[in-house]
A and B are shown apart, each in its own frame.
Chain A
Amino acid sequence: MNTVNLTMAIVLGGLYATGFYLLLQRSLMRVLLGIVILGHGANLLLQLAGGSQAGRPPMLGDAPIERMADPLPQAMALTAIVITFALTTFLLALAYRAWQLLGHDEVQDDVEDRRIRRLEAELAEADEETERELDSEATR
């Protein structure tokens, strides 16, 4: 029961790796695809959590209980699929809105990052000025 199918494990690893890679991209469309792929990975993981052996459908009277597949992870995966589907649609609409408003779909820099960069630029400018002053004093 507790042995994991190697093929499934490799597929899962691939899905998670691809998902996280896409999540780190700057284009919103890729981020969105990353979330979709991660969602697939998670759903597959739920399936795998139910045990790897193939079972009969979990219908009472259809099969002896010990040969039935575990229905709980399937129910959970079904719920999760619906939720990820709905949220993906919402995210698509949001991405379209962003594209409408801004004309591109690049993820913006962090607010604090921008503040620090501005501060850095100001400081560098001030440094240059004092250096120039010192230079001019030296030549005088």
Chain B
Amino acid sequence: MSELVAVPVLLPLAAAGLSMAFGRFADVQRLLGLLVLGVIVVDAAVLLYFADVHGPLVLHLGGWAAPVGIALVADRLAALLLLISVIVMFAVLLYSIGQRITDYGRGTASTTFHPIYLVLCSGVSLAYLTGDLFNLFVAFEIMLASSYVLINRRTTASRVRAGMTYTIVSLSSSVLFLTMIGLVYAATGTVNLADLALEMGQLPPAPVRALALLMVIVFGVKSAMVPLHFWLPDSYPNAPAPITAILAALLTKVGIYAMIRTQILVFEREPSWPLMLTLAMATMIVGALGALAQNDLNRMLSFLLVSHIGFMLFGLGVYDIAGLTGVILYIVHHITVQATLFLVSGLITRYTGTVALSRMGGLAKISPLVAVLFAVPALSLAGVPPFSGFVAKLALLRSGIGVGTVWGYVATGVVVLTSLLTLYAVARVWSRAFWGQVRDPEGDPDPTDELVVGTGDTSPGMVRATGVLVLSTVLVAALAGPLAEVSRRAATDLITGEAYRTAVLGGDSGG
């Protein structure tokens, strides 16, 4: 049973090699990618079911017991986020296949895209499942290395700089990560997350606090926490729509996941964490105001992404079961919604030939379908009932009020304010792009660049893939009850940490 935990990590890696070998057969490559992701969706669902019913599934790699060897752990939180991430990866792959066929015809395939995409999937899965700090570093490197390739693929003069910024910032944060691991090992003599929790308790408070802060900084860069967010709006909008969608949806969320996992499992803290609440408020406000200042649709969405990272940090700052339940719900909601919005933005630029909001207009008349596909995730992002964002935000707001301190109330106020600013930002897009005079699409200024295409061609595949994602955001809202229950149980697991520790260290592998 516990072998299933390794499938999401190993299968895509093996398939990536195979996909490379089939580089000349476009259809085989596409089928292989979809098949592998489909299998992992099923696997993740099974993992979630088992973790929920029987407790965490643990696989000790190479048969080495926990504190020495590397353990892969699928508890409720990891399995839930893995499931939602792979579903989004599947839909985005459908979209990018559709886009490829529209642009270049059925016969040609890009030799690199599919293998790299599968490697990215492997890295994301490993980051969710690993129970070892150094292995987490390796997972991040797998994930980031494939994202470097995806962002810098077919780069043109105007975009090469943005890719460089992204690569260099990520590399520096990786070096910091490595430094952090060195210091953690020097202080405790272990890198196993479950074991670390025990060892940290025996250290004097000063070094523990320093290590906790170092972890906040390392994962803060990865998850675009203000003031470490500056790289994100400069780099993500410079990639083709499906790539931006997948990076924006997953990479920052994996950073948040790593932050939650390490902070809560390893360090002991009383409920409500003022530092994190402050950082969360700064992130929300800076992101939202940044979004309002943008004319470029993709840059605006990137700033909104930064601002909504703040919501997740807010839940972590509340630091109790209610807050963490909110965070988990919010991550699930945000992964689907953010990916959808970037895909829709890809569709929009197809019709308008530009990303500048000031040069769009009348889209609702040109394509009512795209208008609907935009409206649902946009309203959901702003937290309008009955969409998924409302459920998640409500959980966060209630937990914020539950804190009871002045700082807690202030932070809750900022959450409400940021939601309103988000609503204003998406309403601005709506009134500029979808209403008003119908404009002729602008010509493609640089035909060699994949980025801006004013062709108006969208294949049914692209629209359908976006539709699947929009449906899944609606589904997240429809399933809010059971989802909230699972999230609450996952949050309880996180706070107590007992189930995780006994599963990893307790000899019995649970499978």
Contact = CB atoms under 8 A, between A and B. Distances in A.
* Genuine A/B complex: yes
Interface of A: 19, 23, 28, 31, 35, 38-39, 41-43, 45-46, 48-50, 72-73, 76, 79-80, 83-84, 86-87, 90-91, 94-95, 97-98, 101-102, 107-108, 110-111
27 contacts: A23-B172, A39-B178, A42-B175, A42-B179, A45-B182, A45-B183, A46-B178, A46-B182, A48-B182, A49-B185, A49-B186, A72-B68, A73-B182, A76-B134, A76-B181, A76-B185, A80-B178, A86-B145, A87-B174, A90-B145, A98-B160, A98-B161, A98-B164, A101-B157, A108-B161, A110-B230, A111-B234
Interface string B131-167: 0001001100100010011001001110011011101
A87 B161 contact: no
Nearest to B290: A112
A46 B181 contact: yes
Given A83-B138, A83-B141, A108-B161, A35 B168 contact: yes
Contacts of A91: 167-168, 171
B201 to A, nearest CB: 18
A126 to B, nearest CB: 20
Given A83-B138, A94-B148, A97-B160, 20 more contacts: A35-B171, A42-B179, A45-B178, A45-B179, A45-B183, A46-B181, A49-B186, A72-B68, A73-B182, A76-B134, A87-B148, A90-B148, A94-B160, A94-B164, A97-B152, A97-B155, A98-B160, A101-B155, A101-B156, A110-B230
Given A35-B172, A42-B175, A45-B179, A72 B185 contact: yes
Interface hub of B138, B163, B186 (most chain A Cβ within 10 A): B186
Interface of B: 68, 134, 137-138, 141, 145, 148-149, 152, 155-157, 160-161, 163-165, 167-168, 171-172, 174-175, 178-179, 181-183, 185-186, 191, 230, 233-234
A73 B185 contact: yes
B178 A49 contact: no
A72 B195 CA distance: 15
B183 A49 contact: yes
The residue among A49, A50, A73, A108 with the most chain B CB atoms within 10 A of its own CB is A49
A90 B150 CA distance: 13
Contacts of A94: 148, 152, 160, 163-164, 167
Interface of B is mostly: helix
B207 to A, nearest CB: 12
Contacts of A46: 178, 181-182, 185
A42 B160 contact: no
A83 B148 CA distance: 14
B156 A87 contact: no
A24 to B, nearest CB: 11
Given A98-B160, A98-B161, A42 B182 contact: yes
A83 B170 CA distance: 13
B251 to A, nearest CB: 16
B177 to A, nearest CB: 9
Contacts of B233: 111
Contacts of A102: 157, 160-161
Contacts of A73: 182, 185
Contacts of A110: 230, 234
A124 B186 CA distance: 56
B180 to A, nearest CB: 9
Contacts of A49: 182-183, 185-186
A31 B172 CA distance: 10
A110 B186 CA distance: 38
Given A38-B175, A45-B183, A80-B178, A31 B168 contact: yes
Contact of A28 (B68, B156, B164, B182): B164
Nearest to B237: A111
A107 B152 CA distance: 16
A111 to B, nearest CB: 6
Contacts of A19: 175
Contacts of A39: 175, 178
Given A49-B186, A102-B160, A35 B175 contact: yes
Chain A CB count within 10 A is highest, among B68, B148, B152, B174, for: B174
Contacts of B174: 83, 87
A49 B233 CA distance: 37
A73 B168 CA distance: 25
B341 to A, nearest CB: 21
A23 B161 CA distance: 16
Contact of B172 (A38, A107, A108, A111): A38
B188 to A, nearest CB: 10
B12 to A, nearest CB: 19
Contacts of B178: 39, 42-43, 45-46, 80
Nearest to B145: A87
Contacts of A86: 145
**10 closest A-B pairs by CB:** A49-B186, A45-B182, A42-B178, A101-B157, A49-B185, A38-B175, A108-B161, A49-B182, A46-B182, A98-B160
Contacts of A72: 68, 185, 191
Nearest to A45: B182
